[in-house]
Structure 1
Amino acid sequence: MSYSYQINSKEQYDAAYQRSVEAPEAFWAEVAHNFQWRRKWDKVLDWNFAEPHVAWFAGAKLNITENCLDRHVAENPNRPAIIWEPNDPEEHHRVLTYKNLYDKVCQFAHVLKNNGVKRGDRVCIYMGMIPELAIAVLACARIGAIHSVIFGGFSAQSIADRLQDARAEYIVTCDGAFRGTKDIPLKSVIDDALIACPFVKRVIVCTRTRTPVSMIKGRDVWLEDELKKVETLGLTDCPAEEMDAEDPLFILYTSGSTGKPKGVVHSCAGYMVYTAYSFVNVFNYQPGDIHFCTADIGWITGHSYIVYGPLAAGATTLMFEGVPTWPDASRFWQIVEKYKVNILYTAPTAIRSLMGFGLQPLQGYDLSSLKVLGTVGEPINEEAWNWYNENIGKGNCPIVDTWWQTETGGMLISNMANITPGIPAWATLPLPGVQPVLVDEHGTEIEGNPAAGNLCIKAPWPAILRTTYGDHERCRKTYFSTYPGMYFTGDGAMRDAQGNYRITGRVDDVLNVSGHRIGTAEVENAINMHAGVVESAVVGFPHDIKGQGIYAFIIFQGLHEDENLTRQDILQTVSRIIGPIAKPDKIQFVTGLPKTRSGKIMRRILRKIAEGETSNFGDTTTLLDPAVVEEIAVGKL
């Protein structure tokens, strides 16, 4: 197996990039010919960012699972597709060949159909990192149902919000999930969520932890029982539903600068072509390589680079149920040695966390199989980059520092392993087909190098989001209205003399905590639900492990003597409403917030205080109460 679209030198990259910008339709049509289509496209690209409207491969018919499964079963049925490493290293791992995976996806697809799921229905998936999660995702795609995976750390309230927004009538979950020392009661959380979602028709429950669960007659069924029915009926192959290129493939919810999460919609064809293309080229994937992405499938990284990208390329992808520090901080290195991992793709947060344990956990582990290292989720700092390079890659493995977002579907700016040079803490060059620009606050493009500004993309790539579910106007306002004619990323960036990009972080009211995007408004809404909170303001601050921490300034009514107990109460409220990932790291009680006379909170000032600034707050005379700034600065935690 080889990839005709694989780039093998810097000269090839330069030529491919130039062609992708000058003749994008011809460029992507050539790449797309490597995939299996029921019917070829009438037009490669139709777009208008003002509406916004983007359509790739219009008129084409396909099913993404025929590209991820069927064609590989025909050519290499016994090649490992998914290697699964359980949370407990003493438990037996699983290896699913392409033929195994195909059979299980077809069986699961029949289970869905037998339970009433049809093309276009939304299926919510809330599971731990077990093979059945990937199987459920692919089974939905097989029959044309739209999957919406929800990360296992979200609360019942967060799940209910997403179910209501998507009107998802079907759920796939587990009795529970293992994650390090935790046993997460997934089915119980779903039960709490469903109190507010009476429209849900069926909950399919997979056994994992053998936690006692409540099974409601007529609504809840065990996956194992449903699979036996499929077997009894003799249902084996499940023909793939013919989908239009622009039919929705999945909805993935992401935080924004307003309180309500947005359902980002990705479509079938463009997403498939782009994830496979970026996977093969950024990681310089070679047939037979073992690719270990440590993300959760509940996030876009897991969708694109555990499931769809690798499988569309016929690769071997490794899924890990646990955490990098349990039973101890050597777990990643055990896995690398055990499976002779060639590509390791993880988050800067994980690297910084493991750095804190020193070099002892690395002792005695053979990491010589590693060829490529990668980072994702947030900009990596130079100290972490150097530690990763020296101690994990031994100076022999290129580090691909990938910048992208839920909305972009795949990696947009990154060096390519062994092809384009890496620079510590720089994402470097755009992938072919990606046209980044830097603009000032007025939307004027900043020409020349070096430069710094807000990062936008001025033309579509195949995996760009198509809409936000049920609210296209929100998609337009959020991504395409700030700088008309461009997709606004919400990030700031610098560009050096050679055209390399370094991402400097969010420029809107969104935090990047351990690679998870969390909207400040969403956290403030949750804090304000606490009975004693009058008002709150949330900002980010530098955090040694997470990259960014959450700092909350709170006006509290009737603060009792034990401030710490009040803080715990507030943290509990945030956990209940959003989930533990959104809990503030610092809570400072204040008597007032810096506001303009029109009532707008000046987060710029709060951000400076959170970052340790004690003066230089700029002109505060326009504030309603300038004295409150000094009071907050003095009380900083």
Structure 2
Amino acid sequence: MSQDYRTLYRQSLEAPDEFWLEAAQAVTWTQPPTTAVDSTAAPLHRWFPDGELNTAYNALDRHIEAGRGDATALIYDSAMLGVARKYSYTELRDEVARFAGVLRSQGVAKGDRVVIYLPMVPEAVIAMLATARLGAVHSVVFGGFAAKELASRIQDARPTVVVTASGGLEPRGPIEYLPSVHQALDISDHRVATVIVKSREGFLHHASDYGSTSDGSTSDKQGSGAEGAGTEGSGAVWLDWDTALATADPADPVPVLATDPLYILYTSGTTGSPKGVVRDNGGHAVALAWSITNIFGVGPGDVMLTASDVGWVVGHSFIVYAPLLVGATTVLYEGKPVGTPDAGAFWRLIDDHRINVMFTAPTALRAVRKVDPEAKLLKNYDTSSLRLLFCAGERLDVDTYHWTGAALGVPVIDNWWQTETGWPICANPRGIEELPIKAGSPTVPQPGYDLRILDGEGHEVPTGTEGNIALKLPLPPGTLPTLWGSDERFISSYLSAFDGYYVTGDSGYLDDDGYVFVMGRTDDIINVAGHRLSTGAIEQVLAQHPAVAECAVIGLSDPLKGQRASGYVVLKAGADIDPATLEQELIALVRNQIGPVADFKQAVVVDGLPKTRSGKILRKTMRQIAAREDYVVPSTIEDHSVLDAMKPILRGTADR
């Protein structure tokens, strides 16, 4: 195949079988596929239906067999503990094989589920890969989720084993996990056979609080009395990680069909019955091996820091699986972008581990910039090893893009995707060619993603016109084939709005060069006196002001014009400006760049914006609070106190 983006993209749409079967050669198969996509059950599609492989083998064993067992696979860096540890591919494979043996001894077999509720420690990576080694299905739940949210995922996934730890470390103090696990087991109707606990120092609760037996395991007892625990008991056996690992026999990789599930990942902010995104084994391995090579330009020997969490899709794809699939080194960071100990945390990591490629959320960069607006801390570190910085998770505003690029002196590259897709829909494919970067755009659709902009009737709109971003079926490999337990729910949630399309739920437009501009969720479009406006476009303008660190714009009800835009801005550290003066300057900016039709007249300074732990601003919740509607706070919220502080402000602005 020709190695230029536009030729590859065209080939992927015109000859998908040829394109993806060639890409599949980057993966080691126990039974190589002869068919790329099976569309006999359309609108459901299955990739590499006759292929067979093991994902953990591809991530570990095959590199050892190729003579790279001594290469570094994983670097664990804990700013919370002040420690760093390296694992070679052989060391990581051996730990994974032994923990797979532990899981096997507790009854886990091919197709069984394992729920993983761990902080950012090596055991999280080991547990994920060990589950995959057995051909089982892991479901990682973000460490520290409330018991009710953990219970809903246990109820839906119905795991054989839950893997957890004493707790997680946050700047504000330790977060105890075990009372939440015990309570979740009591809430759920599903009975888990075993809970495996990685003990950590400095926590109040231990596995032994829930009963013990002479063999070193513990049996969950009724009414344990542990703080926050339930009173009925779940009947689970509680097993200490280190004790079990010491006597475990290693397990060999178990081949599975390419179409068999690798993991379930529940989308953030789910209420009621959780929505479990399914990832298959074969399409996932092929897509991640292709994308990390061709989009991120990462290969054997490269060191990649993805500053996310294994509880999110970014962590699944680009902390754990993709770097290991291509023989690179991945950095697992337990810490924050600021406050552990300061806003130089990322720069220290780059210096200490000679990181080549970094991937983080724009909100993390905005947090760094807010505390250290002149990037003075960067001067304390050697970041010359870094060649690329990628961003995703929230829209990369133009101001943050320019600030970061100027500070680091490397290309800053936006990319856009979703939990459902598992890898970038739009990106700048740096491993293929260096396309020009346009600030505000994640660049172009990637191979396999037939992206269209549709109006409300499902018709394509002219270039430059904003509409619904949709993907023509079939989706490429690595994207969700269904939702856990319900093909019907998958179809109704994603495939029913426009016949033959997956609806992303985002709005945006294409420019004359085919670049995509994602403006926000479709429900972030507001109608001001008959004019459809994107709140994302207004946010881009507000973010340009030199005093603004980050911002959010929502639509409020207006008796005269239907809706009006209201802005909420967080100031940079050291910014000295009167709020009334700032408001007038922001109003003038919007009027100048968008026009009087925006009718923008309100910008309020706030201490912080409510966000999920992955950095997404809770705009929908903000709108509901302002409108005095019923709302449910997403389980993924980072800090309830920020939202509580915003409530009177939101209601006050709605009344102005």
- 1:25-40 to 2 correspondences below 5 Å: 25-40=17-32
What is the alpha-carbon distance in structure 1 between the residues aligned to residue 50 and residue 569 of structure 2?
Answer: 48
What is the alpha-carbon distance in structure 2 between the residues aligned to residue 194 and residue 315 of structure 1?
Answer: 38
Amino acid at match of 2:210: M
Check whether the contact 1:156–1:190 (CA below 8 A) recurs between aligned residues.
yes
- Alignment match, 1:425: 440
Shift of 1:461: 0.3
Shift of 1:87: 2.7
Give the one of 231, 253, 275 matched to 1:240: 253
Bigger drift between 182-191 and 210-219 goes to: 210-219
Shift of 1:66: 1.4
What is the alpha-carbon distance in structure 2 between the residues aligned to residue 633 and residue 422 of structure 1?
Answer: 37
Q: Which runs of 5+ in 1 are unaligned?
A: 514-519, 521-538, 558-569, 591-608, 611-630
- Alignment match, 1:585: 643
- Alignment match, 1:362: 378
- Alignment match, 1:618: none
> Which string of whole-angstrom CA distances, capped at 9 and with x for unpartnered residues, describes residues 176-228 of structure 1?
11133421111222112112125111100012234232233332110111012
- Alignment match, 1:81: 73
What is the alpha-carbon distance in structure 1 between the residues aligned to residue 116 and residue 270 of structure 2?
Answer: 25
Shift of 1:362: 1.8
- Change beyond 3 A, Cα 1:426–1:588: closer
Residues paired across the two proteins, number: 541
- Alignment match, 1:635: 655
> Which string of whole-angstrom CA distances, capped at 9 and with x for unpartnered residues, describes residues 51-83 of structure 1?
531111111111111111111011200111111
Give the one of 304, 309, 314 matched to 2:327: 314
Q: Identity of paired residues, percent? A: 35
What is the alpha-carbon distance in structure 2 between the residues aligned to residue 194 and residue 541 of structure 1?
Answer: 42
Q: For residue 204 of structure 1, give the secondary structure of its aligned residue in structure 2.
A: strand
Note if 1:223 corresponds to 2:292. Answer: no
Shift of 1:102: 0.6
- Change beyond 3 A, Cα 1:444–1:209: farther
- Alignment match, 1:481: 496
Amino acid at match of 2:476: W
- Alignment match, 2:49: 58
- Change beyond 3 A, Cα 1:554–1:399: closer
- Alignment match, 1:349: 363
Amino acid at match of 2:243: D
- Alignment match, 1:456: 470
* Normalised TM-score (structure 2): 0.77
- Change beyond 3 A, Cα 1:585–1:314: same
What is the alpha-carbon distance in structure 2 between the residues aligned to residue 83 and residue 104 of structure 1?
Answer: 14
> Which string of whole-angstrom CA distances, capped at 9 and with x for unpartnered residues, describes residues 493-514 of structure 1?
121111100111111489999x
What is the alpha-carbon distance in structure 1 between the residues aligned to residue 179 and residue 568 of structure 2?
Answer: 35
* Normalised TM-score (structure 1): 0.80
Give the one of 179, 188, 197 matched to 1:188: 179
Q: For residue 14 of structure 1, give the secondary structure of its aligned residue in structure 2.
A: helix
> Which string of whole-angstrom CA distances, capped at 9 and with x for unpartnered residues, describes residues 246-268 of structure 1?
00100000047865430011100
Note if 1:176 corresponds to 2:167. Answer: yes
- 1:407-426 to 2 correspondences below 5 Å: 407-417=420-430, 419-426=434-441
Shift of 1:635: 3.0
- Change beyond 3 A, Cα 1:156–1:579: farther
Note if 1:373 corresponds to 2:389. Answer: yes
- Over the aligned positions, Cα root-mean-square deviation in angstroms equals 2.9
- Change beyond 3 A, Cα 1:633–1:129: closer
Q: Which runs of 5+ in 2 are unaligned?
A: 212-217, 220-236, 526-534, 540-553, 555-564, 571-608
- Alignment match, 1:471: 486
Shift of 1:120: 1.2
What is the alpha-carbon distance in structure 1 between the residues aligned to residue 351 and residue 21 of structure 2?
Answer: 40
> Which string of whole-angstrom CA distances, capped at 9 and with x for unpartnered residues, describes residues 509-532 of structure 1?
89999xxxxxx9xxxxxxxxxxxx
Bigger drift between 419-428 and 303-312 goes to: 419-428
- Change beyond 3 A, Cα 1:579–1:278: same
- 1:7-406 to 2 correspondences below 5 Å: 12-47=4-39, 51-75=42-66, 76-88=68-80, 90-91=82-83, 93-197=84-188, 199-211=191-203, 212-213=205-206, 214-216=209-211, 217-218=218-219, 219-230=237-248, 235-236=249-250, 238-255=251-268, 259-325=272-338, 326-357=340-371, 358=373, 359-392=375-408, 394=409, 397-406=410-419
Amino acid at match of 2:447: P
Shift of 1:574: 5.0
Shift of 1:471: 1.9
Q: For residue 489 of structure 2, give the secondary structure of its aligned residue in structure 1.
A: helix
Check whether the contact 1:542–1:548 (CA below 8 A) recurs between aligned residues.
no
Shift of 1:555: 9.4
Shift of 1:584: 6.6
Check whether the contact 2:80–2:335 (CA below 8 A) recurs between aligned residues.
yes
Shift of 1:96: 0.6
Q: For residue 477 of structure 2, give the secondary structure of its aligned residue in structure 1.
A: coil
- Alignment match, 1:626: none
Note if 1:505 corresponds to 2:520. Answer: yes
What is the alpha-carbon distance in structure 2 between the residues aligned to residue 464 and residue 19 of structure 1?
Answer: 19
What is the alpha-carbon distance in structure 1 between the residues aligned to residue 323 and residue 120 of structure 2?
Answer: 17
Amino acid at match of 2:241: L
Note if 1:494 corresponds to 2:503. Answer: no
Amino acid at match of 1:553: I
Amino acid at match of 1:272: A
- Change beyond 3 A, Cα 1:555–1:372: closer
- Change beyond 3 A, Cα 1:589–1:382: closer
Check whether the contact 1:176–1:210 (CA below 8 A) recurs between aligned residues.
no
Bigger drift between 211-220 and 108-117 goes to: 211-220
- Change beyond 3 A, Cα 1:483–1:229: same
Shift of 1:436: 0.5
What is the alpha-carbon distance in structure 2 between the residues aligned to residue 548 and residue 579 of structure 1?
Answer: 9
Check whether the contact 2:27–2:285 (CA below 8 A) recurs between aligned residues.
no
Shift of 1:405: 0.5
What is the alpha-carbon distance in structure 1 between the residues aligned to residue 405 and residue 385 of structure 2?
Answer: 15
- Alignment match, 1:553: 625
- Change beyond 3 A, Cα 1:543–1:53: farther
Amino acid at match of 1:407: E
Shift of 1:449: 2.1
What is the alpha-carbon distance in structure 1 between the residues aligned to residue 397 and residue 106 of structure 2?
Answer: 48
Q: For residue 65 of structure 2, give the secondary structure of its aligned residue in structure 1.
A: helix
Check whether the contact 1:555–1:589 (CA below 8 A) recurs between aligned residues.
no
Check whether the contact 1:296–1:302 (CA below 8 A) recurs between aligned residues.
yes
What is the alpha-carbon distance in structure 2 between the residues aligned to residue 108 and residue 582 of structure 1?
Answer: 36
Shift of 1:588: 7.9
Check whether the contact 2:357–2:389 (CA below 8 A) recurs between aligned residues.
yes
> Which string of whole-angstrom CA distances, capped at 9 and with x for unpartnered residues, describes residues 450-507 of structure 1?
2321101103200120111112211111100011110100000121111100111111
> Which string of whole-angstrom CA distances, capped at 9 and with x for unpartnered residues, describes residues 529-558 of structure 1?
xxxxxxxxxx9975546563442438999x
Q: For residue 66 of structure 1, give the secondary structure of its aligned residue in structure 2.
A: helix
Q: For residue 436 of structure 1, give the secondary structure of its aligned residue in structure 2.
A: strand
What is the alpha-carbon distance in structure 1 between the residues aligned to residue 8 and residue 639 of structure 2?
Answer: 40
Check whether the contact 1:155–1:578 (CA below 8 A) recurs between aligned residues.
no
Shift of 1:286: 4.2
Of structures 1 and 2, the one with the larger relative CO (CA 8 A, separation 6+) is 1
